[in-house]
């Protein structure tokens, strides 16, 4: 994999960098792309996806990939195993619309809208039901009332639309959405769902966002066990304990340890894993100690625009918009690939400042600013920006959070094992 290059950049004559002509870069080296550019390694993506597919099959669970990271048809097809798994989670209406070709092909059966629906989204979600099965997520009784109001009533009192299949969202420690297991509101919501003609209880769903704080496999296994115990406990609150339910757990860190699952699952329960970041991984994932630096499939290409030896820093043309302000245990907002100890340390909208950072032990099992492994103990030596970076250098950056970074780019350049662009993927934008 190419790390960085001092080769002089000579753009093709009269090259149009517009959306319509991004495919003209197929056959180019990744280091010759217009910058900033988002580069994906297809071999690494395929390896990461295949590993998770093998793990869920070993664990005897099903998979519901979340499409929010790369938001594109091509990677979703890979995550679904071209029909081996037939359901997804989506965070936006534009993602659901983007998935419709897969439903038309017959390799996607259902989509879960991944947050409790705003009232304005309900009519749009209802329209999409004619093309693909839509499931909803709820965590408040008022959400059922909104669905009832939208459905309306026939003269006989029955709803005018088919009931919505719903997951009840549980909070198992992330404190984002969902109800705590011990909440009386959870019990009231279950009763309300059972009584309403507008919804049908499909199962329980939890998301272990706090698993990003894990640093060992044992810690991630503990969070996964907590998730599973939480949804199983919620299932026991259902009147008639033999009802068929789907219990959905996961996040990419806990997905990486699903192969070690030992919890016994009742016969009436389908256990489902959801995860979205796993095709690409990123510095935050490397910091968990559950994936290696070479499992990162996403990089941002940038160019060194200026060098400032007085302060031992360099300026690049990738700032907040290109990288996001996400941080993690690895220092900075993005690590320079192949140059441990250099990272993006400050940013404004389109300016990124590359500076020297301390590569400390314990930052994600010894992960450096670029995600590489380092010896135990902090590595602190004086680095010389003029020796390591020159104006015109084209460098690659590992990113802290793939999902947020990818959202800024209108096209992804997909490379092979030789870092040659073989395809371009256009993501679904907006909400």
State the Cα–Cα distance between residues 43 and 372, nearest whole angstrom.
19
Domain locations along the chain: 4-42+283-425, 43-275
In 60-164, which ranges are continuous DSSP H helix?
73-79, 93-105, 122-128, 141-151
Predicted pLDDT of residue 362: 42
Report the pLDDT value the prediction gives residue 227, as an integer from 0 to 100.
Answer: 80
Burial 250-267 (b: 16+ CB within 10 A, else e): bbbbbbbbbeebeeeeee
pLDDT digits (tens, 9 = 90+) for 233-280: 888 888 666 789 999 998 777 777 887 776 778 888 899 999 999 999
Q: How far is Cα 361 from Cα 254, in angstroms, rounded to an integer?
A: 23
What pLDDT is attached to residue 74? 98
- Predicted confidence at residue 217, as pLDDT, reads 78
pLDDT tens digits, one per residue of 178-196: 999 999 999 999 999 999 9
Report the pLDDT value the prediction gives residue 102, as an integer from 0 to 100. 98
The whole model's pTM is what?
0.88
Instruction: Assign a CATH topology to domain 4-42+283-425.
Output: Lyase, Ornithine Decarboxylase; Chain A, domain 1 (2.40.37)
pLDDT of residue 153: 58
Q: The domain at 43-275 falls in which architecture? A: Alpha-Beta Barrel (3.20)
pLDDT of residue 147: 96
Quote the CA–CA distance of 136 and 172 in Å, as a whole number: 19
Q: Are 235 and 263 in contact (CB under 8 A)?
A: no
- CB-side neighbour CA atoms (13 Å) of 157: 2
Low-confidence ranges of the chain (pLDDT < 50): 1-10, 12-15, 361-366, 375-377
**pLDDT value of position 379:** 56
DSSP state of 121: G
């Amino acid at each position: 994999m190419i790390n960085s290059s001092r080769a002089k950049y000579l753009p093709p004559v009269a090259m149009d960098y517009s959306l319509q002509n991004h495919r003209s870069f197929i056959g180019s080296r990744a280091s010759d792309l217009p910058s900033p550019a988002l580069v994906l390694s297809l071999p690494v993506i395929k390896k990461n996806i295949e590993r998770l597919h093998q793990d869920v099959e070993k664990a005897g669970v099903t998979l519901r990939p979340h499409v929010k990271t790369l938001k594109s048809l091509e990677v979703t097809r890979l995550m679904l195993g071209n029909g081996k798994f037939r359901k997804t989670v989506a965070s936006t209406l534009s993602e659901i619309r983007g998935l419709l070709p897969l439903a038309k092909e017959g390799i996607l059966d259902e989509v879960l809208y991944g947050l409790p629906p705003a009232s304005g989204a309900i009519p749009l979600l209802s329209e999409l039901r004619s093309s693909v099965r839509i499931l909803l997520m709820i965590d408040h009784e008022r959400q059922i009332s909104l669905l009832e109001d939208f459905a309306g009533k026939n003269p006989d009192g029955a709803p005018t639309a088919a009931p919505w299949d719903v997951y009840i969202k549980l909070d198992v420690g992330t404190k984002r959405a969902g109800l705590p297991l011990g909440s009386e509101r959870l019990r009231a919501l279950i009763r309300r769902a059972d009584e309403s003609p507008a919804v049908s209880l499909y199962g329980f769903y939890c998301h272990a966002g706090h698993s990003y704080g894990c640093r060992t496999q044992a810690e991630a296994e503990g969070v996964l066990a907590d998730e599973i115990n939480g949804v199983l406990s919620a299932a026991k609150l259902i009147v008639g304990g033999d009802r068929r339910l789907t219990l959905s757990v996961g996040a990419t860190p806990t997905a990486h340890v699903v192969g070690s699952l030992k919890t016994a699952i009742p016969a009436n329960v389908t256990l489902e894993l959801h995860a979205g970041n796993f095709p690409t991984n990123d510095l935050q994932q490397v910091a968990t100690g559950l994936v290696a630096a070479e499992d990162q499939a996403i990089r941002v290409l940038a160019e060194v625009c200026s060098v400032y030896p007085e302060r031992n820093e360099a300026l690049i043309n990738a700032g907040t918009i290109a990288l996001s302000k996400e941080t993690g245990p690895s220092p900075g907002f993005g690590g320079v690939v192949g140059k441990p100890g250099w990272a993006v340390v400050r940013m404004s909208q389109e300016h990124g400042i590359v500076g020297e950072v301390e590569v400390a032990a314990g930052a994600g099992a010894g992960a450096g600013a670029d995600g590489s492994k380092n010896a135990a103990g902090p590595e602190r030596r004086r680095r010389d920006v003029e020796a390591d970076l020159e104006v015109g250098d084209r460098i690659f950056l590992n990113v802290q959070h793939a999902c947020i970074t990818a959202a800024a780019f209108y096209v992804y350049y997909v490379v092979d094992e030789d870092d040659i662009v073989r395809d371009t993927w256009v993501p679904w934008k907006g909400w």
